[in-house]
Amino acid sequence: MRFAYARIMQETNALSPVVTTLHDFESAHYLTGDALATAVGPGGYELAGFFKKAELAGFVDGVRKHAPGALTVPLLSAWASSSGPLTRACFDTLRERLTDGLRAQRARGLDGVYLCIHGAMGVEGVRDPETQLLRDAREAAGGVPVVTTHDLHGNLTRERVAAADAIVAYGTNPHRDHARVGRKAAELLAGITAGKLRPATAWRSLPLLLGGGRTIDFLPPMRAVFRRMRAAERKGECVAASTFMVHPWNDDPALGWSTIVHTNDDQAAADRLAEELAQMCWERRHEQPPTFAAPSDAIAQARKARLRRKVGVVTMADASDVVTAGAPGDSTHLLRALLEDGGDLVTYAAVRDPDAIETLWPHAPGDEVRLEVGGKLDPTSSTPLPVRGNVVSKHQLVGFLRVVVLAVDHLRLVITEGPAMVMKPSFYTDVGLDIWKADVVVVKNFFPFLLFFLPYNRKTIFVRTRGVTDFDAAYRLAFDGPMHPRDAVDDWRPRDRARRAP
């Protein structure tokens, strides 16, 4: 048996004005053929700078376990930072590379395809582009079974469910089970191709945009939902169960939380569990995300946390400009407040500004400079911030491209040409900044930073200013009817039936 595998992955914020191009993929993470096989093999590093073993490595490991002797065929792995929609040219190029690779392998014989996608990717002028990828993959591979994995913030549609033999989502938030879902995909694909598994699929779609509190899998109120899914798989009630807590800035009209269950040829059991999980999610709809602090309040909290700053850092999450949720990363609201009010706090922060990089790149470390930073990629959310400081260092880094560090009074400002995706301490340490010497560190992330900054972080403060990752910013999108919590919705079932109807 021969199984092909590939990744085309990006999470799209429909409100972001910064489009995603092929260069964004190729400068961040793009591997094919033997290079991909090496990256996901023993001793390899699948996603350099992020995860040593993720979905594709998990899939290859799973095939060895569940289909001994089967060959795995690496096609491509393309990943880009969350941002605005892909350009049509970018999408068409990636789609053609995927299908060309599958057609070439089909001539040598293919038994199945595994496709790793996000589930919330958007493309200019294309609705539900990831369903198109799944359909194209099946056709190019000759109609063989197709299994896919998604981020749990993906959005299920009727067409998406029909396009794949099985769909599996992460079961953790913050995400830490990438390899596990890859192994699960291998188990399902091996079972289907061997004739041991005949998937019976049931799913439910809720008109629910926000709920579940912090939506962390191991904390209330969502803990019970994730425990129920794990118990169902462990007890053999199903072969896979997933809950999608949706990326709220996706512009599909049928947006909303969803559940999906696969059993082995037991449709009634699949329907019962999908319904049960959907109702559990609906019962948590009134537990909304927490209220975030204003910049002035966040700075006051950080200043009071003297002991915590002595033994670590205060981490501020710029919740209105979360790059890992698709924001441009060029907001100046929090930077302005930190410069005006945070004078006694040594702070590390970041901003994306390609124009500023062009101005700064000819300068040498030590040079004093005056310029405006930020507020250019998304001028509707913030305005450029005038600064005067000294160049500390210059770097060229994968994904971030050219980077300049400025010392502006107590602030160490990391200016990037590429996405200012501050999620791991290495964003700062790779440019020579010692985390232990900071009082405050600013991140552009909602969840994973909590894991990565664990050795340093002594207090977390989420800060709200104004931007495209404000939760209520999603209320501007057009939905197929009332949507909780923007609107009053008493019963989720009528919309679910309409969304699932042929």
Q: Read off the pLDDT band of 326 (50, 70, 90).
A: very high
Average pLDDT taken over every residue of the chain? 97
Q: What is the pLDDT of residue 74?
A: 98
Residue from 387, 351, 396 nearest 369 by CA: 387
Spell out the residues 6+ positions from residue 79 whose beta carbon is closer than 8 angstroms to its own. 7, 9, 10, 25, 28, 29, 30, 47
Q: Is the pLDDT of residue 49 over 90?
A: no
Residues recorded for the chain: 502
Residue 337 forms beta bridges with which residues?
Answer: none
Q: Read off the pLDDT band of 311 (50, 70, 90).
A: very high
What domains lie within the chain, and their CATH numbers?
2-282 (3.40.50.2300), 295-469 (no CATH)
**Over the stretch 70-83, which tens digit does the pLDDT of each residue have?**
999 999 999 999 99
Q: What is the pLDDT of residue 447?
A: 87
Asked if 375 contacts 382 with a C-beta cutoff of 8 angstroms, the reply is: yes
Q: Read off the pLDDT band of 329 (50, 70, 90).
A: very high
Asked if 173 contacts 215 with a C-beta cutoff of 8 angstroms, the reply is: yes
Q: Is the pLDDT of residue 44 over 90?
A: yes
Q: Read off the pLDDT band of 414 (50, 70, 90).
A: very high
**Over the stretch 171-184, which tens digit does the pLDDT of each residue have?**
999 999 999 999 99
In the 8-state DSSP scheme, what is residue 455? T
Q: What is the pLDDT of residue 50?
A: 85
Spell out the residues 6+ positions from residue 501 whose beta carbon is closer than 8 angstroms to its own. 158
CB 383: neighbour CB atoms within 10 A?
15
Spell out the residues 6+ positions from residue 320 whose beta carbon is closer than 8 angstroms to its own. 327, 331, 333, 381, 463, 464, 465, 466, 467, 468, 469, 470
Q: What is the pLDDT of residue 127?
A: 95
Asked if 484 contacts 208 with a C-beta cutoff of 8 angstroms, the reply is: yes
Q: Is the pLDDT of residue 194 over 90?
A: yes
**Over the stretch 284-304, which tens digit does the pLDDT of each residue have?**
999 999 999 999 999 999 999
